[in-house]
Each structure stands twice: as C-alpha cells, then as structure tokens.
Amino acid sequence: MTSVHFYHNAKDPLGLVCELVGNAHRGGRKAVILSPDTALAQQIDHRLWTANPGGFVPHVMSGSPLAAETPIIIGLAGETEWPHTDLLFNLAPELPAAYEHFRMLIEVVGPGEAERAPARTRWMHYKQQQFPLKAFDAERRMAL
C-alpha cells in the first residue's frame, strides 16, 4: 500500500523537492516529480541542474526517450504512465493520477492558504482511502 507523506509549510517547495529527490537518488531510489504545468516543470529541471554543484541528479522530462533508464522523471499532473513506481512527488493542487501504484507519495505544501486548502482535501481523500499518512513540518524538519 502507498505510504503518503505531507511536508507542510515549505517556504521553497521546489528547493525542498530538489533536496529530497537528491537524497533519494543518492540512496538508490527512483522518483517521479509531478508539476501542475510546463513552466514549473522547466523550473524543476533547472533547479535539479543547479541545486547541488557537487552532485548530479540524473533526470529527464517524461516524454524523453531516455525516461525508462533515468532515475528521476519530471512530468505533468494528469499523466498516468511511468517507467518506475518508487517515489512520487506531487507539487500539483489536485490528486495525482495513479498515485496508488507508487510505493510512496510525497506531497509538498507551501505556506499559503492557496496551497493548504487543496492539501487538506487531498489529506482527507487519502485518509478516507485508509492510506498510511505522516505529516512533517518542512521548515523545522520534524514530524507533526
């Protein structure tokens, strides 16, 4: 069953995702990052190239012919086909499609009410579906 982790109050959601994805990659994990739109997907791509000057996080956009052999995929909300199903990072306000196929879903929520309101709806959905839930404060890096 998919484990769902919420990181609340992320002042820099893209920075947090890049950090968590980098840590996951160094640990041998594979990940999909969902963006609500192409502009944010391009920002994620740029941040992954520049986030850690001493480290490289191999990644491609979901439509790339190299997606099946690349550990980190950047895709758009609504996509349902992925070459691997280990970690799913969601930056979109809606429920990610096919999230139940992943081992873990990580929801990153910014500090504003515009981010928190849809996150509450997603939390309630996962809770009603009886997925294991954990909440973390992104700034203090501690469980809630």
For 58-70, how does the pLDDT look when each residue is reduced to its tens digit (9 = 90+)? 999 999 999 999 9
Share of the chain above pLDDT 70, in %: 98
User: Average pLDDT for residues 102-108, to the nearest whole number?
Assistant: 98
Instruction: State the Cα–Cα distance between residues 66 and 60, nearest whole angstrom.
Output: 7
pLDDT of residue 29: 97
Task: Give the pLDDT of residue 55.
Answer: 72
pLDDT, position 140: 85
Q: What angle do CA 123, 63, 118 make, to 5 degrees?
A: 15
Above 70 in pLDDT, residue 53?
no
Q: Which CATH number does 3-143 carry?
A: 3.40.50.10110
Write the CB contacts of 3 (distance below 8 Å, at least 6 apart in sequence). Answer: 103, 104, 105, 131, 132, 134
Sort 138 into a burial class: Cβ within 10 Å, 0-12 / 13-18 / 19+: buried
The more confident residue out of 13 and 50 is 13
Please say whether the beta carbons of 109 and 123 come within 8 A. no
Span 20-39, average pLDDT: 96
**Residue 50 confidence (pLDDT):** 82
- Tell whether the model's pLDDT for residue 52 goes beyond 80: no
Give me the sign of the Cα torsion angle 99, 105, 111, 116.
positive
pLDDT at 54 over 90: no
Q: In the block, which residue shows the tokens 């480290």?
A: 55
- Assign 18 a pLDDT band (cuts: 50, 70, 90): very high
Instruction: Name which of 140, 113, 138 is nearest 18 in CA terms.
Output: 138
Average pLDDT value for residue range 105-117:
96
